[in-house]
A and B are shown apart, each in its own frame.
Chain A
């Protein structure tokens, strides 16, 4: 491409085609760069990302150490508690990463600029998903390393299953993130609390710290319809019985596909509703 003098000097912009995969990737990249700038703008934010999961890991790690030194049958569950905490944190931190990043656009009153730019709704969602994984890695990798050195718990002992567990949990977090983002778009920052609390709804149902078998029968049905339940069951099966059931994971991934599609449709529906109700004009004000 030959540039004119006006383009070389910046007097004239060189506008790339607005459609196609390359254009989408460029816009998603621009948005991820915006999130990276934000993260790097504050050392406190960086520390905060690691601070809470680290505290969680310490608390549960010491509890496990204590139990391991007793004759309690619970001691047999060596590694299970820390494993549960770390896996739960993958789901929780990924969800929080998605939601806070979205809410940040509203706090900064930037959503109007974004939604009037060539950015498409699915590109905004893709950028949020991608960023939630990057943010999660910044948060969890140092904590997982610390768990190994402090308590001898090696997350990588889960082997291939770890990658599958990670995928299931992150996909679930995106579904939850999409629903909370949609509700906030439609009802404004007054619904912000939902963004923080939605993941906790899963905590008792997904059987993070106990097996599905302890639930009453009617609740088991609900628990098994949630993808994370299969992750936590799978983790316990590997750590306690050294058995990995791939069928459970396929089932979880299939459920995730349904939830993700539903989450995206709910987000689009609420976005449409916000456009119909004019709430996008008031967001952040």
Chain B
């Protein structure tokens, strides 16, 4: 595994064609607030990458732009070589998405919901696929229950079942284990890891859960105030900052930047233990 820490904001590939994700100079401004500020990165096939950052760092907006839910103010987002703003329909069935902030209709049973989404994603062997995923995620006993009557952990598993339906090559996850107990969260992480490994899929996870990121991610993109301030493997970042955990690195980076902002010197990369 490449242990280097890439220079923030610089693409690792000159041509993003056919890469799962190629983001170039992406910016999103809401009124006077810059949510994402000229970021560029690419995601290689079969990698799990975490978008890490505090509240308001720009993680969700970045993911939303990759999904086509938010239109960039400037810059470009390509998924499998296609411009998402204009050609999302051509690649949408190779992607999927899960977030605890988006629900499946509560009055439909789990099976009905999965069957509707199988239709939307164009899955010809829907029945077999649903049965298979239900087995994988241990939701068979839930299939005939109303989705709205499930616990948070069960809902997350069902949401994940919807996200796995089309066996996406690119899976985008926004805080996939938020509000779950440690045991359920650990189980979900294992499933995500298995999925990424077995299918060779690319996962992009927006999170501020450091344990999750350390356990799942091959690479971390650290965002602060809409900018990429670090980009590298978790181990490389920990080594670079001379810390024990990614959480320490995160706190170090964000607090130093916070102090510099107050001193009027914001926007710079914080001092590293090694350079």
Are B92 and A117 within 8 A (Cβ)?
yes
**Interface residues of A, count at CB 8 A:** 49
Distance in Å: Cβ of B57 to nearest Cβ of chain A: 15
Q: How far apart sit A29 and B116, CA to CA, in the bound complex (Å)?
A: 9
B residues in contact with A27, CB < 8 Å: 119-120, 122
Are B97 and A116 within 8 A (Cβ)?
yes
Are B166 and A15 within 8 A (Cβ)?
yes
Distance in Å: Cβ of A280 to nearest Cβ of chain B: 5
From 125 to 178 in chain B, residues with beta carbon under 8 angstroms from any chain A beta carbon are: 125, 127-133, 146, 162, 165-167
From 84 to 108 in chain A, residues with beta carbon under 8 angstroms from any chain B beta carbon are: 104-105, 108
From 1 to 29 in chain A, residues with beta carbon under 8 angstroms from any chain B beta carbon are: 3, 7-19, 23, 26-27, 29
Partner of B69, one of A109, A115, A272: A115
A residues in contact with B10, CB < 8 Å: none
**Interface residues of B, count at CB 8 A:** 52
Contact with A along B87-109 (1 / 0, CB 8 A): 00110110111010111111111
Q: How far apart sit A82 and B271, CA to CA, in the bound complex (Å)?
A: 80
Contact with B along A251-278 (1 / 0, CB 8 A): 0000000000000000000001001111
Partner of A29, one of B90, B101, B119, B167: B119
Q: How far apart sit A27 and B28, CA to CA, in the bound complex (Å)?
A: 31
Q: How far apart sit A229 and B254, CA to CA, in the bound complex (Å)?
A: 64
Q: How far apart sit A26 and B112, CA to CA, in the bound complex (Å)?
A: 16
Are A109 and B92 within 8 A (Cβ)?
no
Q: How far apart sit A284 and B103, CA to CA, in the bound complex (Å)?
A: 10
Contacts A34-B108, A115-B69, A116-B68; A16 near B97 (Cβ below 8 A): no
Are A110 and B105 within 8 A (Cβ)?
yes
Partner of B103, one of A10, A37, A109, A272: A109
Q: How far apart sit A8 and B106, CA to CA, in the bound complex (Å)?
A: 30
Contacts A9-B128, A275-B70; A113 near B119 (Cβ below 8 A): no
Partner of A276, one of B71, B103, B105: B71
Q: How far apart sit A105 and B104, CA to CA, in the bound complex (Å)?
A: 9
From 53 to 80 in chain B, residues with beta carbon under 8 angstroms from any chain A beta carbon are: 60-61, 64, 67-71
Are B122 and A17 within 8 A (Cβ)?
yes
Contacts A18-B92, A280-B70, A281-B64; A37 near B112 (Cβ below 8 A): yes
B residues in contact with A9, CB < 8 Å: 128, 132
A residues in contact with B103, CB < 8 Å: 108-110, 113, 284
Q: How far apart sit A264 and B41, CA to CA, in the bound complex (Å)?
A: 36
Q: Is B121 an interface residue (CB 8 A)?
A: yes
Distance in Å: Cβ of A274 to nearest Cβ of chain B: 9
Q: Is B195 an interface residue (CB 8 A)?
A: no
A residues in contact with B116, CB < 8 Å: 30-31, 33-34, 37
B residues in contact with A222, CB < 8 Å: none
Are B105 and A281 within 8 A (Cβ)?
no
Most buried by B among A10, A23, A38: A10
B-to-A contact residues, CB < 8 Å: 28, 30, 35, 60-61, 64, 67-71, 89-90, 92-93, 95-97, 99, 101-109, 112, 115-125, 127-133, 146, 162, 165-167
A-to-B contact residues, CB < 8 Å: 3, 7-19, 23, 26-27, 29-31, 33-34, 37-38, 41-42, 104-105, 108-110, 112-120, 272, 275-278, 280-281, 284-285
| 7 more CB-based (< 8 A) A-B contacts, given A16-B124, A37-B107, A281-B61 | A13-B129, A34-B108, A41-B108, A116-B68, A116-B96, A272-B71, A275-B71
A-B contact pairs, 19 of them (CB 8 A): A3-B125, A10-B125, A10-B133, A13-B166, A33-B116, A34-B112, A37-B107, A37-B108, A37-B109, A37-B112, A41-B108, A113-B162, A115-B68, A116-B95, A118-B89, A275-B68, A275-B69, A275-B70, A278-B30
